[in-house]
Each structure stands twice: as structure tokens, then as C-alpha cells.
Structure 1
Amino acid sequence: MLRSPGWRFFIVGLLILLMFIPILFVSEIINDRANYNRSTRDSVGQEWGGRQLISGPVLVVPVQETVTVREKRQVLDPETGIQKLDADDKPVFRHVDVQKTVNRDPVYLYPNQFTTQIDTTTQERHRGIFTVPVYTASAAMSFDFPTDAVADALRGKEVAIWGKSEIELHVTSNRALRGAAELTTNGQQLQMEPLAPNDNRVGGLRAPTGDPRNHDTYTMKLGFNGAQTLSIAPVGRTSEISFASDWAHPSFNGAFLPNDYEASEDGFTANWLIPHLARPLPQVSRETQEYTARHEASFGVDFYQPNDFYQKSYRAARYGLMFIGLTFLTIFLIEGQSKRPTHPVQYLLVGLAQSTFFLLMLALAEQLGFGAAYLVAGGATVALVTAYGAMALALGKRTIVLGLLLTLLYAVLYLILRSADYALLAGSILAFGAIAGTMYATRNENWYGEKREKSGGGWFRRTAPAAPEAPPTQS
């Protein structure tokens, strides 16, 4: 019973499930290395300037209102200057209406026409074995503000204090700014100062404008550093934004994709045209729209690194149990006629060798890149398991079948990892083919363990049990 094909098949199935444990540990190691890589890249990126997101410019117009306030004041004796007391020796007070000027919420005015050209020059910074793309950017902006819209935002007796208006430009981190920021209008250069972060903004620049009704178009030039990602918010009623870079692998993200772009080995260019109706921002507001601008309207580009072997390694490990199972199944089928069946410990050694493949591939990929690492790790694993099949499992000439199947499996896995779009299709076809092949190879198998005929068998052939003899006919 214990040596029957059915029982051995059941044991092999349990061994396949047992291999889930090393595969799980391998997946955890891959995740740890990916997290370490991510934290290292973030650390290097922050030192260079971090992920930059530009929102603004916005014109901030202070608002004041004169209100009547009833105040309680002491009644003083005109001769002594001492507060009067009533008959009960209590202080005497009177109520006086006083005119006071109080500050109200400012008016936030966004540009009418907003045009921006951002050019970036990239380089790669290294820390240990990790590489981080960083960039130096220069932005040229042109914008104007519809100051007539401020009157519609005022309530009651509120008055706009035009002379104290300011233009604000918000950036992720002031540490990333490089060089002098220039803001000019009507031939006059405005002085820009750092803007302290608060609950509504992360940092940036401010420039007093005087009365903005006397100004037409503003132009701004800004230089800054950044890493990994560059984004901008389309704050204008009509926003025309262009990116140009020498980075060959852009990945666009955010609320809007570019209207058109070109990418080559020499770099990329991208253009956006965002109309007023498409942006989730009002033209004029009494509340800051910084959160909406940064988190709901912004878009940009990731400086993508195409050799993301951590993701490929993790995906490969997810297929690991299926590939180990197919290898076990192959060994089970081709050793069916062997006088010495494969021991469970030998199955486990083969499974551990294949589990180690994923770690070896990841370790080599961090040094050589994914393609070369996969070739070396896959070739070493196929050679090891095939040699073990020949020497330890005594498969003889059937070792060729094992080696060819392993080569096919790792070739299919490579195609799956290289093409995410067809990964499910390739994996499904492979699984279906494995099941169909097993059904064909075991079509004449007697799973109860009755002895097969010794002749007429091949690698995958099973001789059907002899038909019962017909009873002799009576004459």
C-alpha cells in the first residue's frame, strides 16, 4: 500500500505544500531588501531635495472690516480721576460703541493664464549598491491675476488692503531651492523671501507686490533640486505646462496625463493643457486651496528606473510553489519505472535548491542587473537539480527529460517576468499543459499499486491490465 503510485503521489503533494514555508521566507527576505532599497533611496533623495511638488503662484490679498463694538468702560470722577462708586460701593460702568478695524480671511486669487516650462538635468547618486536618480531643475513661469474678481469675494463692509498683497509660491522643501529666485512685473523686480511652513503649507516663497492692480503679467524664474519625482499643480484658469529632461524613462502620474509627449534614449518632453473646467480649484476663494491643489490636482513625472528587480523577484517567488510542484511531478513521473523510488528527503532537497534560486537571483541582480542575474541563477539551479537527478536519483537517460523541462520552466518564468501584460496567460497555459501532460502520462496507471507488466513500457507509457479471459464455449 505505502509503495503504491497513489500513495506516493499523495506524499509528493504534501511535500509540495510543505515547500510553501521556504517560499514564504524567501518572499519576506525579498520584501525586506525592497524596503531597505526604498528607505535608502528616500534618504539620499531627501539630502538632495526630495520629491518636489510646486503649487502656486497664488495672490493673497488681505481683507479688513470696520465694525462697531460695544465696550464696557469705567466711569471716572472728573476731579479725582478715580472710578466712581454707586450707593452700594460698587464700580460704575458705561457702555460705549467703538469703531474697530479687524482682519478677515484674505482673498486667495489664482492666475488667469499660467504658463510654465520646467527643464531638468538628471544624474545618479550612489549609496552602497543602490542608485538614486536626482535632478536639477529650472522653472520659467508666466502668469497674471484677474484682480477684478476680488470685489465679488468681499462680504458686507469688508475692504481689500491692496497695498499689502503678496504672491506666494509653495514648494515641498525650501532646502531644495538653488540660486536666486527672480520675480518681475512691468520691468520691476520684486523681492522674494522664504515662506515659513504652517498647517496649510509645507514651505515656499513670498513676495510683496504693492497694489497688484497696477501690474500686468508676472514672470518668475526658479532653480531647485529634487529626487525621483517632480510634480506641479495647474493653478491657472488655463494652465500650459511643459517638461523637458534628459531622463530616458519617464513615468507620468497624478491627476492629468500629458496631452502629448516624446521619449527616447536622449530624454523626454511632455506637454499639458489643463482648462479651467478640468481643475478642482476655484478662481477666487476665501480659504486656502493648498490641500486640494497638492493632493487632488497635481500631476508630474516619476524618474523611473526600469531595472526594478525587486518587484520581478517578488513576482517570481509567487510562482515558486507552482514551479517546484511541476519539478516534483516530473521526477515522480519519470522515476515511475525505477527500481528505487525517490525518497521524500530527496524531493525536499530539490525543492530547497529551487527555493534558493530566488535568493541567488536577487543577490546577483543587485550587482549585475536582472537579466544577467536570472541567467546565472537559473543556469546554476538547472545544472544542480539535473546533476542531482543523474547521480542521486539514478534517473539515467531520463535525466535529459528533467533537464529539458527545468530549462523550459525557467524560460517561461523569464517571459512571465518580462511581460506583466501576458503573465496570467502564460502561467495559465503552463498550468493547463502540466495537468494535461500528467493526465496523459498516467492514463494507464494503476494507482492501487498492482504490479505492471515488465515489457512494452517507455518513459511515460503504462501497460493497461490484461483483459479477463472469456469463458470457454460449450459445444
Structure 2
Amino acid sequence: MRKSIGARFLIVGVLTLLMFIPLFFVSDIVQSRKYYSQNTLKDVGREWGGDQVISGPVLIIPVQETVDQTQSEEVIDPATGLVKTDGNGNAILKQVTRRVTLNRAPIYLYPNQFDVDMRTQTQMRHRGIFNVPVYQANVSMDFDFPTARIAGEVDKDEVILWEQASLAVDISNNAALRGEAALTIDNNDVPLEPIASERGRSGITAQIGDPRERGSYALTLGLNGAQSLMIAPVGRQTAVTITSDWPNPSFDGAFLPDGSEISELGFSAKWTIPHLARTLPQVTRDDFTTALRQSMSFGVQFIEPNDFYQKSYRAANYAILFIALTFLTILLVEKGADRPAHPVQYILVGLAQSIFVLLMVAYAEQIGFASAYALSAGATIGLLIFFGSFGLNLGKRTSVLGVMLLVLYAVLYLILRSADYALLAGATLAFAALAATMYFTRNEDWYGPEGATLWARKSKAAPSVPPSVPPAEAPAKPPR
């Protein structure tokens, strides 16, 4: 069956399926390197400041209530100072009513107009062979508080402690605060303090006194961060502008920007969030800090888009297609050769193309994706052309293999460079390859000369009897 192209097609198909095994291990190695890279990014980012989520400012006003509280107390003998007991030795109790002042749930008041301007400058930090983008942000906030809305939030017996009102701004990590941090109220400086650690909260606070006597507020913060910068829309009308020198922003969170300008020099984006677009009351007795940070914040991520680990992983997924096309090219080019390629030789070709992905990852970590791809693809194509010429004895037909490999790796590069069109390019290439195979094999004798001869022999060995000729009758036995 060595001359049967049909049998060889089946063998090559089985060998192609076997190539899933090395490609599986290659994909696993790429993923492990990606996880290692991500852990490095998180470690360096956390040391610099980490992901930043700003929620606030919010005005917190304590509330107290004086009530009559009745409780049981032991009766003390004034003469002895001991607890009086009954005949069974149990302490004698009496009911005592006292006026006590209790702290009630405070009032949380969010700003009316909340305008934020954030400007960031990015830089690269290095850990081993990895580059980690980090940023320094200057945040400016202008806001006011509609204190007239508070009146209907308390019961008639509750007392609002206006003089003890405080302002709070939550951030992800106080260690990220750098540079200027200043609060001014009506152009007067107000001292800031860190929020005492409670339930894992981080941020700053200030005792501002009676807010009914206050007008405009302004807060500036300087902080470090990495990977993302987010803010919660705490204002009844929120307007946020982010300007940065980062050329590859990824806008994320509950709201996308109204508009943005992105160039190689950086980006600028603006959000306008009305109060109806957020599920947050203006005045409340509940603390919405966690909900604000987790489900309503929005902003930008500072990440490398479509990094070479993603490209390499996609290359490993597409590798089986390119291995199959290379096997198919060899099979068709060597058609009619006295000594067709051995299955071991096909396996060597498939392993070379599998190792191409590892080469690309290893060199990309050192010299970047484009240079690594050119180096790895050039080495792989050169090796396969050499093997085709001297190992497979293709002779002049090696040029066909070389042209096919150049086209394949050029198409693969385009696929990896554009994630949006990767599926389109891959599917089109697969269909074109199948159509070309069907065209060039349209006149093939899939059984081969050996199979055709065997079929003819079987046909001659059992000739059919025409149904119109009656079978000969057996001679009658002579009478005894």
C-alpha cells in the first residue's frame, strides 16, 4: 500500500492527530509562563501601590437619641454592701429605668455636584525579564453637599450632631498616597488624617465641623498605582476626566466614557454620570462604600494589549492547522517519488513546527514579539527547507515547500497581530487549503496501482452468471 496515495493520506491524518500531544505540552508551557508574568506584574504593582479605586467623598454625620431604658439590677444591702438574696439563695432583682443616650446609625450624605480631574504619568518598572507599567496620579476634586436634604432622615427624638460631622474618602491602599494631599473648604485648609483601620478600610478623613456653614470643597490627592485607576460616581451629577500619557488604555467598569481621544502620546477620556444612572441614594443611613467600589466604579486599565503570551497561545492553537497543511504539501509534492516520506520524517517536521512556538516565547521575553517571530519563523522555515531537500529528497520541488511555508508563517503573523480578525483569517486559510487539496487531487487514483490490480483480480475470480440463462439440470439417475 506504499504506492496508494489514499492509504498515505490516512497515515498522514493519524500523524497530524498525534501532533496534538506535543502541542498540548507547548500550550501548557506558554500558559505557565503567562501566569508567572502575571504574578510578577501583581507583585510589583502591589509594592508600588496596586489597583486604585477611589470612592468618596462622603459626609458622615453622627446621630444620637436619648431614651428611657429599663433593666434589671441586683439589690444591694446598704449596710453590708452585699447582694441581697431570697430564701433559695438567688439574688433579688429590681427594675430600674434610666435616661440614656445611644448612638444611632449615622447619616451618609453624598455630594451634589462632583467634578474630578485625574492626570497620570506612567513609567516602566523592571523585575527580572519583565516590564511592569505603573503610574503616578494627581487627582483634583471639586464638590459640595446639599445639607438641606438631611432634615427628613431622622426621627423626632433623634439629635443630629452637626459639629461632629466628618468627611471620608476611601482608597485601595494608604501606602499608595504620595505627594500632595490637601482639603480646602471655602479656601481654608482642613487637616487630613488616615482612616483608622476597620473592616479592612483604607483612606483619609477630616473633621469639618458643622457642614451647614460650609460652601465649596476642594480635595487634591497624589497617589501611586498600577494596572487600573477607578473612581465611584458619588455625586448626584458626576463629571470625570482622565488624561494620561499611556497609549493603550482599556476602559473598564460600570460606565464607559462619553468620548475619548487616543494617540501614541496618550489618551484623554471624559465621563458624565447623572444620578438616575446609579443605584445610590443621595442621603442614607446605610454605608454604601462596598457597593460603590465593587459594582459602580469605572475608569481605565493600564495593561499591555495583546501581549506576546496571548499571541503565542493563539499560535499554539493554530499550529495544528499549519502542521496539517505542511504535511499535506509534502504529501502532494512527493507524489510519484520512488521513496515516499516515512512517518518518522513527518513526525520530525511536526515537532519542528511545535518547537517554533517555544522559540517564539523564549525570544519574545528577551527581544520583543516582532523580532522573536522573525527569528523563530526564519529558523523553522530554513530547517524545514533543508530537511525537505536533503532528508525527503524533494529536489527542485523543495521550492514549492519553501513558498508554502513562507505564506503560512506570513499569514500566521497577521493572525497574531490582529486578535479581532484571527478567526476570520484562520477559517479562510483552512477553507482555501481544503479547496486547493480537492482541486489538485481531483484525478487521483486513491486505491493506487496495487489496489486497482487487486480489485480487478477479485472481479475476474467471481464472474457473474446472466440471469437469462437457466441453470443446467442435473442428469437423471438411471433406473436400477
Which one is further off, 150-159 or 136-145? 150-159
Structure 1's 425 and 79: CA in aligned 2 closer, same or farther, altered over 3 A?
A: closer
Contact 1:61 1:106 in 2 (8 A): yes
Structure 1's 285 and 404: CA in aligned 2 closer, same or farther, altered over 3 A?
A: same
Q: Per-residue deviation at 1:196? A: 3.0
Please give the alpha-carbon distance, in whole angstroms, between the structure 1 residues aligned to 2:317 and 2:85. Answer: 89
Tell whether 2:84 aligns with 1:98: no
Which one is further off, 349-358 or 81-90? 81-90
Question: What fraction of aligned residue pairs are identical, expressed as a percent?
Answer: 55
Please give the alpha-carbon distance, in whole angstroms, between the structure 1 residues aligned to 2:5 and 2:383. Answer: 27
Corresponding residue for residue 331 of structure 1: 330
Corresponding residue for residue 249 of structure 2: 250
Contact 2:4 2:451 in 1 (8 A): no
Corresponding residue for residue 72 of structure 2: 72
Within 5 A, what are the aligned runs for 1:122-161? 122-155=122-155, 157-161=157-161
Corresponding residue for residue 279 of structure 1: 278
Within 5 A, what are the aligned runs for 1:197-236? 197-199=197-199, 202-236=201-235
Tell whether 2:7 aligns with 1:7: yes
Q: Deviations over 1:271-313 (max 9, x none)?
A: 1111101122221222211121111111111123246111111
Question: Which SS does the other structure have where 1:235 is aligned?
Answer: coil
Q: Per-residue deviation at 1:89? A: 6.8
Within 5 A, what are the aligned runs for 1:268-347? 268-306=267-305, 308-347=307-346
Which one is further off, 344-353 or 75-84? 75-84
Structure 1's 158 and 8: CA in aligned 2 closer, same or farther, altered over 3 A?
A: same
Corresponding residue for residue 63 of structure 1: 63
Q: Per-residue deviation at 1:431? A: 0.9
Within 5 A, what are the aligned runs for 1:449-464? 449-450=448-449
Please give the alpha-carbon distance, in whole angstroms, between the structure 1 residues aligned to 2:329 and 2:135. Answer: 52
Please give the alpha-carbon distance, in whole angstroms, between the structure 2 residues aligned to 1:398 and 1:76. Answer: 112
Matching residue's letter, 2:95: H
Q: Deviations over 1:246-275 (max 9, x none)?
A: 222222111111112212222221111111
Q: Deviations over 1:340-362 (max 9, x none)?
A: 01000100000000001111111
Contact 1:307 1:370 in 2 (8 A): no
Structure 1's 20 and 69: CA in aligned 2 closer, same or farther, altered over 3 A?
A: same
Q: Deviations over 1:178-209 (max 9, x none)?
A: 1342111123322211113333x530011111
Structure 1's 357 and 79: CA in aligned 2 closer, same or farther, altered over 3 A?
A: closer
Contact 1:281 1:292 in 2 (8 A): no
Please give the alpha-carbon distance, in whole angstroms, between the structure 1 residues aligned to 2:401 and 2:20. Answer: 22
Q: Deviations over 1:142-162 (max 9, x none)?
A: 111112222222245222222
Please give the alpha-carbon distance, in whole angstroms, between the structure 1 residues aligned to 2:90 and 2:430. Answer: 97
Structure 2: state its 5+ residue gaps. Answer: 453-480
Corresponding residue for residue 470 of structure 1: none
Contact 2:306 2:419 in 1 (8 A): no
Q: Per-residue deviation at 1:88? A: 6.8
Tell whether 2:195 aligns with 1:170: no
Contact 2:4 2:450 in 1 (8 A): no
Tell whether 2:42 aligns with 1:42: yes
Matching residue's letter, 1:305: E
Question: Which SS does the other structure have where 1:210 is aligned?
Answer: coil
Q: Per-residue deviation at 1:169? A: 0.5
Corresponding residue for residue 383 of structure 1: 382
Please give the alpha-carbon distance, in whole angstroms, between the structure 2 residues aligned to 1:365 and 1:188. Answer: 54
Tell whether 2:450 aligns with 1:429: no
Which one is further off, 387-396 or 61-70? 61-70
Q: Deviations over 1:5-38 (max 9, x none)?
A: 2221111111000000111111111111111111
Tell whether 2:338 aligns with 1:355: no
- Give TM-score, length-normalised by structure 2: 0.90
Please give the alpha-carbon distance, in whole angstroms, between the structure 1 residues aligned to 2:371 and 2:87. Answer: 102
Question: Which SS does the other structure have where 2:405 is aligned?
Answer: helix
Please give the alpha-carbon distance, in whole angstroms, between the structure 1 residues aligned to 2:393 and 2:41. Answer: 49
Structure 1's 87 and 407: CA in aligned 2 closer, same or farther, altered over 3 A?
A: closer
Question: Which SS does the other structure have where 2:449 is aligned?
Answer: coil
Matching residue's letter, 1:235: V
Matching residue's letter, 1:430: L
RMSD of aligned C-alpha atoms? 1.9
Please give the alpha-carbon distance, in whole angstroms, between the structure 1 residues aligned to 2:324 and 2:312. Answer: 19
Question: Aligned pair count?
Answer: 452
Matching residue's letter, 1:252: F
Structure 1: state its 5+ residue gaps. Answer: 454-475
Please give the alpha-carbon distance, in whole angstroms, between the structure 2 residues aligned to 1:402 and 1:82. Answer: 106
Structure 1's 395 and 83: CA in aligned 2 closer, same or farther, altered over 3 A?
A: closer
Please give the alpha-carbon distance, in whole angstroms, between the structure 2 residues aligned to 1:343 and 1:74. Answer: 100
Corresponding residue for residue 475 of structure 2: none
Structure 1's 119 and 444: CA in aligned 2 closer, same or farther, altered over 3 A?
A: same
Q: Per-residue deviation at 1:92? A: 3.8
Matching residue's letter, 2:402: G
Corresponding residue for residue 241 of structure 1: 240
Structure 1's 96 and 403: CA in aligned 2 closer, same or farther, altered over 3 A?
A: same
